Amino acid sequence: MKQVADLIDWPACAAIAGKTVRNVQYWGQDSCSATPPIATALAFDVAFQKAGGEGAPFRDAYVFQFKEVMTGQDACRRALAEAIAEVARESGDALAASIEITQSNASPLSTLRASAEVGQLLAAANRLARRLVPFHTAGVLPVARETGGLQ
């Protein structure tokens, strides 16, 4: 907000927003959690560029926030894909070891190996289940509310 006001001044910002100068100045304070509506932010960016400013301060701020949210979601998706791959590998190992004990020449060691492989599969499945939690509706709604996705 301050970047825009430094170029076009606070009274012009207030006129664009249809607010008092004090209200618009408040948006520019670090301690303020309120922000201008998107239409007003767009109008500020347009006025900023018309006055010779480079870039679009509000757009840039929204893009930064969007990238932060998406980076976290991408990391969750990558971790989920890795967990799925681990379950697939462990499942194959557990099945192969279990099939091996059905053979007539299977040894007690084969049974122990199959048990160990199934244990590793269960551990991997539990890790996968924990990775799914952020994708549950309860985990998605707060992020959507914070980013304005549920209006």
Give pLDDT tens digits along the chain (151 positions): 989 999 999 999 999 999 999 999 999 888 988 889 999 999 999 999 999 999 999 999 999 988 887 887 788 888 899 999 999 999 999 999 999 999 999 999 999 999 999 999 999 999 999 988 877 754 554 554 454 443 3
Q: Which among 74, 95, 86 is positioned nearest to 128, based on CA atoms? A: 86
Q: Give the contacts of 123 (CB within 8 A, at least 6 positions apart).
A: 90
pTM exceeding 0.85: no
Residue 97 pLDDT = 97
Q: Which residue has the tokens 């924990």?
A: 130
Is residue 26 within 8 A of residue 34, CB to CB? The reply is yes
Residue 137 pLDDT = 55
